[in-house]
A = this chain, B = another copy of it.
Amino acid sequence: MKVVEDRVLADGKIGEGDVLKVDSFLNHQIDIGFLCEVGREFHRLFCNCGVNKILTIEASGIGIACMTAQFFNVPVVFAKKTKTVNIYGDVYTAKALSYTRDGYYDVTVAKEFITQSDNVLIIDDFLAKGNALRALISLIYGAGAKIAGVGIVIEKIYQGGGDYIKSLGIRLESLAKISSMDKTGGVCFAE
């Protein structure tokens, strides 16, 4: 999607450790008009798939999921990264390896919000190795629900997460696909 690629080129910054910093418009400060365009595009891509729920993971996926959910008129569920006293009762839990923090964390969803009758669209800001996505997929399959697809704003295709998703037979749509990235050469997109 040109608007995402252009925005990454204009405002993305390459940091240490292969981190693409997009916090001026996507995951710390949020450009709401930009996010609305992103949501509209995810709807265009998945509008014929029978999506009845959108699942994301806190925190930076929430805004994107909400803006997307408006077009589908379906609820959002955001998985939590720590179990707090606000979640009672039965939960699904999966472990995820953090890309930007050290070690593993628990990804948790209350069982009542993902059920066998759900056909879930997963939405997130980034896809690199796919660690968070693996956990979300495991939660959905654990609930006996279906996965309509995965919508990602920015994928780093050279890190293998996308290949893994597709190897499961899950449809993946990434709005910007980064094929390489370094401080001297900048960001290059696939296709």
**B-contacting residues of A (Cβ < 8 Å)?**
15-17, 19, 21, 23-24, 27-33, 35-36, 58-59, 62-63, 65-67, 69-70, 73-78, 80, 82, 84-88, 100-101, 109-110, 112-113
Q: Note all chain B residues with C-beta closer than 8 A to A65.
A: 63
CB pair B69–A32 under 8 Å, yes or no, is yes
CB pair A78–B59 under 8 Å, yes or no, is yes
CB pair B67–A28 under 8 Å, yes or no, is no
Q: Note all chain B residues with C-beta closer than 8 A to A77.
A: 28-30
Q: Give CA–CA (A77, B29) in the complex, Å.
A: 4
Of listed A32, A87, A109, residue having the most chain B CB within 10 A: A32
Show 27 A/B contacts (Cβ-Cβ < 8 Å), sorted by A. A15-B88, A23-B87, A23-B110, A23-B113, A24-B112, A24-B113, A28-B78, A29-B75, A29-B77, A30-B66, A30-B69, A30-B75, A30-B77, A30-B78, A31-B75, A32-B74, A32-B75, A32-B76, A58-B59, A59-B59, A63-B63, A63-B65, A63-B66, A63-B78, A67-B70, A84-B100, A86-B100
